[in-house]
A and B are shown apart, each in its own frame.
Chain A
């Protein structure tokens, strides 16, 4: 294991950025950290503020985890970097409120965003500082892009324009409701999926789709015996994995390491 860590390959920034932010977008394919987007990304400025804050938090948390927290037990580590994220939030709060002042409580809630917890646990604590930095940037870009798009669409619905004048009156106030955010996320996810199916079919992985085994069981196979019930259970455990969404960057690292090991 120690050997593997030393030999861990460097992530190519461009590939990692494309895969981590777009192909395996944390929000659209893995449903991570949607709370601030759905509730707070009601204008473009809010979207930008959320994106910047997430970038700062994710970079800080992943660097901290990668540098100092690898040897601490997991259940203790989470409390440490959540606390550190809270401090970072408080530190950068004046800067973020200068971008947008109406994020309310959601600005502070970003420090317990699932994106930070999952990326730190899934990636940063297993790899080098450089790779963690690349991953943090890639994931934040993916998260930020979605949050800005959702904010812009909702602002357009509310005011009829993006970046309206300061005294513009909202035409439709209901667009700030969470169901609108979820609906826009659904449409974005569908567009994203259509693009992936068409241009990158091998990369098509959806956290909430059926695995092929499950599909066979639920949709085609009418009579399930005891043995098949067992396989249903197994399939369910495999595909519905809570803390193990499938990540591109980690795959790159693991696959490369495995390949090098087998070559050696």
Chain B
């Protein structure tokens, strides 16, 4: 039991810090950069992405345990993952709309949180790494936290760039931001060296 928990903790930490899935493997990077522009919505985005990462990873991992589905070619498995994610998203969307009476803006954001490369990469990583259900869940949770961490770090960069009047004209905005994110990725890539998830 203790080993299962320690494995889960290590996997979550690995996905979040050691090899931050967003900054060093670039899953969901464009969503992270664009979300970083809206600090007021960090909690909502962070929670939604973590929710979808967690449950997509969990459900897809459970589905892969069904004997009839375990030996399918990767492209068929991948379509199944997308179907699982779509069902999860539609259920969550229907719940938010009907029960919580969520507004249009929230519903739009929910779709961005569900359909991004980070969420749908997780089942693929689990499948190729042969993860157990426990580590799959931990990976999902760690991936959500990795997204939050990357949002915070990129937001810092955005603030720095926007407050800096000395940036050359042709580097202002997106170019400087790309380079800032690249330097963060360089800093984090020392932990794992050149090894990448998939």
Touch between A and B in complex, CB under 8 Å?
A: yes
Q: Are A38 and B75 in contact (CB under 8 A)?
A: no
Please name all residues of chain A whose beta carbon is closer than 8 Å to the beta carbon of B99 when the two chains form the complex. Answer: none
Number of A-B contacts (CB under 8 A): 189
User: Quick one: which of B80-113 are within 8 Å of A by CB?
Assistant: 82-83, 85-86, 89-90, 93, 97, 104, 107-112
A108 to B82, CA, bound (A): 10
Q: Does A163 contact B (CB under 8 A)?
A: no
Instruction: Convert A171-192 into 0s and 1s, putting 1 for each residue whose CB lies closer than 8 angstroms to a CB of B.
Output: 0011011111111011101110
Interface size of A by CB at 8 A reads 62
Q: Does A242 contact B (CB under 8 A)?
A: yes
A176 to B186, CA, bound (A): 12
Please name all residues of chain A whose beta carbon is closer than 8 Å to the beta carbon of B74 when the two chains form the complex. Answer: 108
Q: Are B124 and A105 in contact (CB under 8 A)?
A: yes
**Which of B1-9, B59-67, B141-149, B171-179 lines the interface with chain A?**
B171-179
Interface size of B by CB at 8 A reads 68
Nearest-neighbor residue (CB-CB) of A182 within chain B: B182
Q: Are B78 and A86 in contact (CB under 8 A)?
A: yes
Q: Please judge, given known A-B contacts A38-B29, A189-B175, whether A74 and B37 are in contact too, CB under 8 Å.
A: no
Q: Does A213 contact B (CB under 8 A)?
A: no
Instruction: Convert A221-264 into 0s and 1s, putting 1 for each residue whose CB lies closer than 8 angstroms to a CB of B.
Output: 00000000000000000001111000000000000000000000
Q: Does A8 contact B (CB under 8 A)?
A: no
Nearest-neighbor residue (CB-CB) of A173 within chain B: B194
Q: Please judge, given known A-B contacts A74-B107, A179-B186, whether A82 and B86 are in contact too, CB under 8 Å.
A: yes
User: Quick one: which of A100-131 are within 8 Å of B by CB?
Assistant: 104-105, 108-109, 111-114, 117
Q: Please judge, given known A-B contacts A35-B117, A75-B110, whether A207 and B28 are in contact too, CB under 8 Å.
A: no
Q: Please judge, given known A-B contacts A74-B108, A83-B82, A105-B198, whether A114 and B116 are in contact too, CB under 8 Å.
A: yes
A87 to B76, CA, bound (A): 9
CB distance from B109 to the nearest CB of A (A): 7
Q: Are B115 and A78 in contact (CB under 8 A)?
A: yes
CB distance from B164 to the nearest CB of A (A): 9
Please name all residues of chain B whose beta carbon is closer than 8 Å to the beta carbon of A185 when the two chains form the complex. Answer: 178, 182
Q: Are B174 and A93 in contact (CB under 8 A)?
A: no
Q: Does A32 contact B (CB under 8 A)?
A: yes
Please name all residues of chain B whose beta carbon is closer than 8 Å to the beta carbon of A164 when the two chains form the complex. Answer: none
A-B contacts, 5 listed (Cβ < 8 Å): A34-B33, A183-B178, A206-B174, A208-B173, A209-B172
Which 3 A-B residue pairs are closest in the complex by CB-CB distance?
A186-B178, A182-B182, A209-B173
